[in-house]
Amino acid sequence: MPDQTADFRVPADTERWRCAGCGNLTRFDVTRTRRTTEYWHFDLAGEVQVEEETVRSETVEAVTCRWCGRADAIEGVDRASADTASDPAAG
């Protein structure tokens, strides 16, 4: 079976994901690959802290609904019009 989520991307500020199978809007397992440039600051003890990060590219490889386990029913929807009452987490 082909990967149903190969073309997914991280939702923009006006979008969100929804599982058409169970109505979930809030919990997904996401596998992604990111290419970043980071500014690492090492303290004198050698501990590192990433202080800046720029995402150069990002690919979402798979999205699976945490509630029902489906990867073939994930869709992008408008955030403002999403029916939050149908989300299993709402009940």
Q: What is the secondary structure of 32-66 as a DSSP string?
A: EEEEEEEEEEE-TTS-EEEEEEEEEEEEEEEEEET
What is the model's pLDDT at position 79?
Answer: 87
> Residue 19 to residues 1, 24, 31: CA-CA distances in angstroms?
19, 5, 16
Q: In Å, how far from its chain's centre is CA 89? A: 17
Task: Kindly state the average pLDDT of the residues 37-65.
Answer: 97
- Within 8 A by CB and 6+ apart from 91, the residues are none
pTM, two decimal places: 0.69
pLDDT at 5 over 60: no
What is the model's pLDDT at position 80?
Answer: 83
pLDDT at 3 over 60: no
